[in-house]
Amino acid sequence: MSDAVLVLNAGSSSLKYQLVEPDSGDRIATGIVERIGSDDASASHEQGGATHETHGAVADHKAALHTALDLFAEAGTDLRSTRLLAVGHRVVHGGRRFSQPVVLDDDAVAAIDELSSLAPLHNPVNLAGVRAMRDIFPEVPQVAVFDTAFFHDLPAHAATYAIDDEIAQRYDIRRYGFHGTSHEYVSGAAADFLDRPADQLNLIVLHLGNGASASAVRGGRAVDTTMGLTPLEGLVMGTRSGDLDPAIVAYLERVADMDVDAVDTMLNKEAGLKGLCGDNDFRTITARIDDGDERARLAYDVYIHRLRRYIGAYMVDLGRVDAIVFTAGVGENASNVRADALTGLEGFGIAVDPEANTVRSRQARRISPDDAAVAVLVVPTDEELAIARKSAELVRAG
Ligand code: ADP
């Protein structure tokens, strides 16, 4: 095996992992452990065309990693005796401090821990994965790759909230942005696809997954993005509200007897498409719309309206747009979303070719007519490969 990086994405009750060769981009294995912390956990591991599965109790993230290592062994790879180049961890919040990936020593772990107040749903579980790996593989360099890093240098006018400056400084309140690894990767892949230097391209990147965010990228650098202090701001998402009047939070506290944590949970987990129509998967929502379901229709319309609002904002931000890039689960698969997001914009040189839009593929592709001024692209994201490459680069640089 040539140099390999184990990429870990630890969520609250799940652990996703991939063993990646960063130079070739080859995937040696991929897997997920779900329902961590329950007696009913399950794990699935794909390697060499075969799937290995196991079910049972998995107490915590460390136990989940041992489950993954057992599945690797079952598939014929003893990771405990393999020389890994690095373990690359997806870490959601890098705060003001981290603009680049970092090798995780005690100091970096403590700094990420301190940022937990900004990302209570994410950083503690990301660190659970880090701590478990440091225990199991003390000699392998552990690297953190931050979701916020690509947006670290947002222009001040895009990063700053219009609130009391002293309070903002004291509590580190600014727009951080998230999904940065994906926005950066997809921007580079779009430049490759167009065969143009990234530093000469103005892009609008639409990362539409269960979580969703848009960014404006000028010459390879992010100049605006929809997510803010936390991943709650911006677009309508699967279960998150995105933008709303902040007075709603105080209003609910006053009239609905909901405390701040209850409102926070509602806006993160029971809002967005799920809140609007009870479903958050576009396949189900599209099927319901086809059946004439009005709640699903309204949810879809609200989603598209918000998306178009930001596309318009970023066209103005950038002045000249070379390409609009769709990525992630919805962006890569939902042709109706792509068509409806960009309908009626021919006057701006933006159009979607209906035939090209229906092509299904894992490859980057153009879905705008050849003669359109703005290229509309579908570019599959690959955060794991990006994390593997960044980790390898950092470790090799010594
Ligand atoms: P995340 O990484 O944020 O969990 P993904 O990028 O995997 O999410 O996107 C998941 C979402 O993609 C699903 O909730 C669903 O709405 C959408 N999706 C996946 N496949 C399809 C498809 N074939 N058609 C339409 N939507 C799809």
Q: What is the pLDDT of residue 59?
A: 93
Tokens of 73: 């062994």
Tokens of 335: 């042709």
Of all atoms in ligand 1, which is nearest to the CA of residue 208?
6
> Ligand 1, from 32, 210, 338: best to mutate by most atoms within 8 Å of Cβ?
210
> Ligand 1, from 182, 213, 281: best to mutate by most atoms within 8 Å of Cβ?
281
Task: Kindly list the protein residues whose Cβ atom lies closer than 6 A to any atom of ligand 1.
Answer: 209-211, 238, 280-283, 328-330, 333-334
Whether 283 has a binding-site annotation, put simply, is: yes
Domains and CATH numbers, the chain: 5-146 (3.30.420.40), 196-383 (3.30.420.40)
One of 3, 23, 26, 147 is an active-site residue; which one?
147
Note the pLDDT tens digit of each residue in 249-276: 999 999 999 999 999 999 999 999 999 9
Whether 178 has a binding-site annotation, put simply, is: no
pLDDT tier at 15, thresholds 50, 70, 90: very high
pLDDT at 239 over 90: yes
pLDDT tier at 11, thresholds 50, 70, 90: confident
Note the pLDDT tens digit of each residue in 274-320: 999 999 999 999 999 999 999 999 999 999 999 999 999 999 999 99
Whether 126 has a binding-site annotation, put simply, is: no
Distance between CA atoms of 192 and 325, rounded to whole angstroms? Answer: 13
Note the pLDDT tens digit of each residue in 22-60: 999 999 999 999 999 999 999 999 999 999 999 999 999
Note the pLDDT tens digit of each residue in 101-160: 999 999 999 999 999 999 988 899 999 999 999 998 999 999 999 999 999 999 999 999
Burial state string for 64-93 with b = 16 or more CB within 10 A and e = fewer than 16: bbebbbebbeebebebeeeebbbbbbbbbb
Active site residue 172: no
Q: What is the pLDDT of residue 83?
A: 86
